[in-house]
Chain A
Amino acid sequence: MDPLRIAMICDFFHPNVGGVENHIYMLSAELIRRGHKVVVITHSHPPDRVGVRWILPGLKVYYIPFPTIASSATLPNFFTFLPYLRSILLRERITLVHGHASLSSLAHEGILHAHHMGVRTVFTDHSLFGFDDAASILTNKLLEGALCNVDGVICVSHTGRENTVLRAGYRFESKSAEVSSKRKFDPTIWHVIPNALVTEKFKPTLDRVADNTVTVVVLSRLAYRKGIDLLVATAPRICELFPNVRFVIGGDGPKLIDLLQMREKYLLQDQIILRGPVRHSDVRSVLAEGSIFLNTSLTESFGIAILEAACAGLYVVSTRVGGVPEVLPADMISFAHPEEDDVIRAMSEAIKIVSEGRHDPLSAHERVKSFYNWRDVAERTEHVYAGVMNSVPMTLYERIQRNLELGPYFGLIFVVILVVDCFFFQILEWTMPREDIDYVEFDWEQEKFEKVAREETMQAQEESSQRDSRDSDGGVRGF
């Protein structure tokens, strides 16, 4: 397909670390490799991460000076992003905006504003939300508003797609999608493209010492949603049932204290090892210690940690929640219901499989390698882009109609926002005319960069060798 100029918009990006951040980076890198031009727009991290930065391989990142409210998310304010976005989209000649994460108000705003400049929109949802708590109700409403303006949606799992369709406010009379919903539901824009991982980074270790110890690795944020209560309840029972089992637990969080208390109470200091926070670059080395990976999460939209563990050759035991059952074939993972007794049953099964040698780490690695890779993800995303670019854009009237369908009150509020946004855009066109914008004339060229880099290093080597020879002659030192 023709090279596109894509702007990834998300509140969550490097220097923060996490699943969404990594997804955006890997996808952008792969799209650049495929000949597209990608920029990332995110909020700044004062004092030092501000302005425009370049990240390898030629990814330009705009850090917009917006303050954050909580967990690196900005306040949804609908209009303040427009001046920045307009300048960036125009000067970079962007043709497609790709927003990420439903808690990112920057992404929502990007989708709201993009149509002024004739830019098409795609949105990726990475998480699952319920419907019954105040926070979910509010964020789901915002998502509903954003998604009625979007041209394409990508979800990371089938369960995630079902969840996002419901959160976008579509209600079906019957359980089947073919039956009409109250609002017009266009099934062609809803895609499922899974995450991927860099399989080379998670190679199984081969030089494991042959003894009968079975090491169980747990790597997660130690929070309620990750099911640490289940871990606290089951770990002592498993240690009692299987004296040859050792737990290695990595991560930090509010539930750490519960784990420490449990270890103290049952005197399991030599069977349960707490590693504290583990950096993403050290994940492999922790995974390499074990042969079983235990995930007790209570909700999970994709479960990249499970995949990383499976790729590193570990047998996986996980709770059957969210999108987890879709991620791996049944012979690589044991499922448990989120109940204490069932987790113990699944763990006993896994310990038996592993200690009998029925799980081959190398073949598991090869299989995961064949399932997931970023090139595949980028290719499938490209298809979504192509579909969006070929579709007919919505007219403003159509947008207003779709916003009105959101509901008697909420729809009206969104129509007002949309119309005010149009006026705001016209004011910007007048005060900051397009011809005054500083357009980007030169793009990143990898070959040129490599050439320059090679020349520079050669020059530096020459200089240093000259200096060395001068030094050995007893010449003048120091610059």
Chain B
Amino acid sequence: MSSREWEKVLWKKHPYPDNYIPHTFLSSLRKNTNFKPYTYWPLVLAACSITQHLSTVFIFLATFIRIYDGSWDPRYLVWSSVAIFLLGYVIWEVLEYKTLGYLVKHADRAKTFKSSILVFLALMALSPVLRTLTAATSSDSIWALAACLFILNVLLADYGSLRPYGHTRDRLTSVLSMNAAISSSVVLASRLRDDLSVFALILFSVQLFALYPLVRTRLQVTDAFTYASITIFLPALSIYLHSSPTNIITLILGIVLVFITFVAPALLLWAQSYKNEIRGPWDVAVPQINTADH
């Protein structure tokens, strides 16, 4: 064999056999180049949005059960919904001020109130229709349907946080998720006895499933402390509300919430040690195009 150095070229005739494996073999192999090791507490904080979402679903279910068996007066629910809405709106405006740096314009504020009053009145007008919507369907089907829709809602919900200064458009899945939750509350509300209960429940569901996620995504980026304390409050409330009917549900709910908040991030951390991402010259390159002048 000649002393000529082996080269990684095909056009040159070299004295090495075709199955010669040079010492540089796989030298361009890169492992885990984009590897970012996670740390535990930020993961827990990120998992909080899942915990919160699950808690809101269970708070809603507990409320439904209480209205359904008549232990709560729907009028109180209407008033508390209104109060939650006003409180939520104040928080939202504070958060907007914090992220964007300027106050919401007076005209925008008026517009928000006008549309919320419209939704309020529309729901009130629609509640007799919604009450009799599924009169011909048996309750068992409704429970199953509502469960399916809530599972869909939990699976598809957008748990990400809002990018600072980036108003990202809603993805299709998060829109689907919200629709699933509202449909589920509509079918559940149609089991109730009087129009006021139907109205109260749907109003409450709009607060929880349509408006609260908006506040949550903003909260997640601005204030970790408030966010964490809300994450303690919501699951605690959901467990408290469920503690009276049956104990087994409380237990399952508690275990699920603890698992998602504390155990699942640890599992992800552990699984990351098995990460083995291979990169090399054979990967499809990503073309870099200057977008500024197009």
Given A159-B282, A163-B282, A176 contacting B23 (CB threshold 8 A): yes
**Partner-A contacts on B (CB < 8 A):** 8-12, 17-19, 21, 23, 25-29, 276-278, 280-290, 294
Chain B residues with CB below 8 A from A421, complex form: none
Q: Is the CB of A172 within 8 A of B285?
A: no
Chain B residues with CB below 8 A from A298, complex form: 284-287
Q: Does A183 contact B (CB under 8 A)?
A: no
What's the minimum C-beta distance from B1 to chain A, rounded to whole angstroms? 16
What's the minimum C-beta distance from B163 to chain A, rounded to whole angstroms? 24
Chain B residues with CB below 8 A from A321, complex form: 281, 285
B281, closest chain A residue (CB): A159
A and B contact pairs by CB, cutoff 8 A, 11 listed:
A130-B282, A154-B18, A162-B25, A166-B26, A189-B19, A299-B282, A301-B282, A338-B285, A338-B287, A339-B289, A383-B17
Q: Is the CB of B10 within 8 A of A192?
A: yes
Q: Is the CB of B21 within 8 A of A187?
A: yes
Q: Is the CB of A176 within 8 A of B25?
A: yes
Q: Is the CB of B29 within 8 A of A341?
A: no
Contacts A298-B284, A340-B287 supplied; 10 other A-B pairs, CB < 8 Å: A131-B278, A159-B28, A162-B29, A230-B287, A298-B286, A299-B284, A301-B282, A322-B282, A325-B8, A326-B8
Given A158-B8, A321-B281, A383 contacting B18 (CB threshold 8 A): yes
Chain B residues with CB below 8 A from A383, complex form: 17-18
Q: Does A145 contact B (CB under 8 A)?
A: no
- Distance of A130 Cα from B25 Cα, bound (Å): 18
B9 partner, pick from A225, A326, A384, beta carbons under 8 A: A326
Number of interface residues of A (CB under 8 A): 57
Chain B residues with CB below 8 A from A337, complex form: 288
- Distance of A189 Cα from B284 Cα, bound (Å): 27
Chain A residues with CB below 8 A from B285, complex form: 227, 298-299, 319, 321, 338
Given A158-B10, A166-B278, A229 contacting B287 (CB threshold 8 A): yes
- Distance of A298 Cα from B277 Cα, bound (Å): 20
Count: A-B pairs, CB below 8 Å: 118
What's the minimum C-beta distance from B272 to chain A, rounded to whole angstroms? 16
Instruction: List residues of A (220-239) whose CB comes within 8 Å of B's CBs.
Output: 225, 227, 229-230, 233
Chain A residues with CB below 8 A from B28, complex form: 159, 162
A297, closest chain B residue (CB): B285
Q: Is the CB of A233 within 8 A of B290?
A: yes
**Partner-B contacts on A (CB < 8 A):** 128-132, 154, 157-160, 162-163, 165-166, 171-172, 175-178, 187-194, 225, 227, 229-230, 233, 296, 298-299, 301, 319, 321-323, 325-329, 337-341, 371-372, 380, 383-384, 387
B10 partner, pick from A176, A187, A194, beta carbons under 8 A: A194
What's the minimum C-beta distance from A440 to chain B, rounded to whole angstroms? 32
Chain A residues with CB below 8 A from B282, complex form: 128-130, 159-160, 162-163, 299, 301, 322
> 8 nearest interchain CB pairs?
A128-B282, A339-B288, A371-B11, A163-B282, A191-B18, A194-B10, A338-B285, A177-B25
A229 partner, pick from B12, B21, B289, beta carbons under 8 A: B289
Chain B residues with CB below 8 A from A157, complex form: 10
A175 partner, pick from B18, B21, B29, B283, beta carbons under 8 A: B29
Chain B residues with CB below 8 A from A175, complex form: 26-27, 29
Chain A residues with CB below 8 A from B19, complex form: 187-192, 384, 387
Q: Is the CB of B290 within 8 A of A329?
A: no
Q: Is the CB of A177 within 8 A of B284?
A: no
A193 partner, pick from B18, B23, B25, B281, beta carbons under 8 A: B18
Chain A residues with CB below 8 A from B287, complex form: 227, 229-230, 233, 296, 298, 338-340
